[in-house]
Amino acid sequence: MWSGKYTAVDPSLLLNNIQDNLPHYANYRQQDAQEFMNHFLNLIHDEFSMKTTLITELFYGQLQSTVKCLGCRQTEITKEPFSFLPLSISNYNQKSVLYVKVDGEQRLVSIKVNSSIMFVNDLIDCFLKQHEPKLTRDRIRAVQLVNNVVKDLYDGWQSLRSIREEELAIVEYPEKSVHQKHIWCNFIDHSTNKVFRPPTLLICPNQNCTYLHLSDQIDQLLGHLCSTTNAPASAFHLYWIYRNEMRRTLKVEANTDEDLPSISSIQIAMATEWVDIYKKYYNTNHSTDKSMLASLLTDYFREDYLDGDYHCLKCSKSTVAQHKSYLCLPLPHVFIIQLKRFMYDVNSNEKIDTYISFPLYGLDLNEYTVTDNDNKPENSSSTKYDLIAVSNHTGSLLSGHYTTYAKNTKDENWYLFDDRYVRKLDSDKDIVTKNAYILVYVQKTG
């Protein structure tokens, strides 16, 4: 099918076969995608009647667990096979939000929050304390940012539950007096007129605004664009917008005291070749920002203590022990991660909708892998992985729907699989969502 020789495959026979062998799936009840995948892989493995099969070679790795008794310092090492890594997200309490500053700087910030925060103002308070302790709450606004356009200003008492985290951004407001107002400065590609980055805010007088009132602020923004791209002054054109619709060239050299009546915003247009460099700079910068998935992996492999839970044979009693897990070499060719969104306990059953960012390319497992001297990775690429598929779950614990994003490695395109509908995606920018449940990574070769 991937070769392009066939357009579609009818999976009815496969389904019948699965239902014959795993009667559990014979009805049309809600099932868990991760459980099914596990059963399905085991079913194929069992049919080979061999110890090592294609399934174990592709999907299985080994986890090493080291437990050191703090009483007698005895270390116990155990190894067990695994075919997927279940990552807990219930204690995950960081939000990753884009922060846009007055001087043009933009960066993703991680905001540590506790589970009790409910409103936009709570989040802003956490942000100020952790990232901008010198600013006050009136200097910061949470906005809905979609494709670099501010669609909405969030109210401080708006519930965070009603906000899509991937659309949330924080914008710095410049300090102003009662005689001044804020206006947006938008950044557009000169040939397409499309915005290429989030806007910033400027201040200008309520009345009789001239270029002189804006020049220092605009120079600062041009300085930011130049320093990231090395673009020359000729790459820029300035416009001012009045009554929210009419656009005029902003005259910089001559008549700088010319009045700009009813000014509503400013546009900085940059030539396309420099826009491309700017976007590349920020994309690479953002993607090297540690993903939330990497933080979850760090949590999973973090050293912890088994306090009284460990029975040491040498001490012949319950003791405190140090515990740490590692991945063993060779790593599996296919690395499957389950984001544990479904919580079942005595008090409540719930689905966790937290947005977890994860990389499409270059997930590196090196720091979680055992590296003693006789067992080093042959080269660094053997610990690096690219995403090849995501299983998404929408809906609740009781009633939900699965879809899959999968990449065709022949044509390099991503496809959406939604029951009997299959659609090619225009780009890979919508792959990472809060619905992601199972992530399938494939080891990079060469």
Chain positions contacting Zn ion, by CB under 5 A: 69, 71-72, 312, 314-315
CB of 317 to Zn ion, least distance (A): 8
Residue nearer to Zn ion on the CB measure, 69 or 431: 69
CB of 301 to Zn ion, least distance (A): 23
Structural contact between residues 250 and 241, judged by C-beta atoms closer than 8 angstroms: no
Structural contact between residues 25 and 37, judged by C-beta atoms closer than 8 angstroms: no
Residue nearer to Zn ion on the CB measure, 72 or 146: 72
Residue nearer to Zn ion on the CB measure, 73 or 420: 73
CA–CA separation, 40 vs 403, rounded Å?
A: 18
Residue nearer to Zn ion on the CB measure, 76 or 353: 76
CB of 70 to Zn ion, least distance (A): 8
Q: What is the 3-state secondary structure (H, E, C) of 418-431?
A: ECCEEEECCCCCCC
Residue nearer to Zn ion on the CB measure, 150 or 312: 312
CB of 281 to Zn ion, least distance (A): 54
Six token digits for residue 43: 């079913």
Residue nearer to Zn ion on the CB measure, 71 or 330: 71
CB of 78 to Zn ion, least distance (A): 16
CA–CA separation, 446 vs 387, rounded Å?
A: 16
Picking from 90, 163, 85, the residue whose alpha carbon sits closest to that of residue 348 is: 90
Amino acid at position 114, single letter: N
Helices (H), 200-340: 211-229, 272-288, 292-300
* Bridge partner residues of 249 (DSSP): 239
- The residue behind tokens 């790593």 is 331
CB of 380 to Zn ion, least distance (A): 37
CB of 77 to Zn ion, least distance (A): 15
Amino acid at position 260, single letter: L
The C-alpha angle 289, 294, 394, rounded to 5 degrees, equals: 100
Packed helices 211-229 and 272-288: angle between N→C axes, nearest 10 degrees: 70
Amino acid at position 302, single letter: R
- Alpha carbon separation from 93 to 115, 124, 361 (Å, rounded): 7, 15, 25
The C-alpha angle 267, 241, 146, rounded to 5 degrees, equals: 55
Residue nearer to Zn ion on the CB measure, 68 or 95: 68
Structural contact between residues 386 and 361, judged by C-beta atoms closer than 8 angstroms: yes
Residue nearer to Zn ion on the CB measure, 65 or 366: 65
CB of 321 to Zn ion, least distance (A): 8
Residue nearer to Zn ion on the CB measure, 65 or 371: 65
CB of 302 to Zn ion, least distance (A): 22
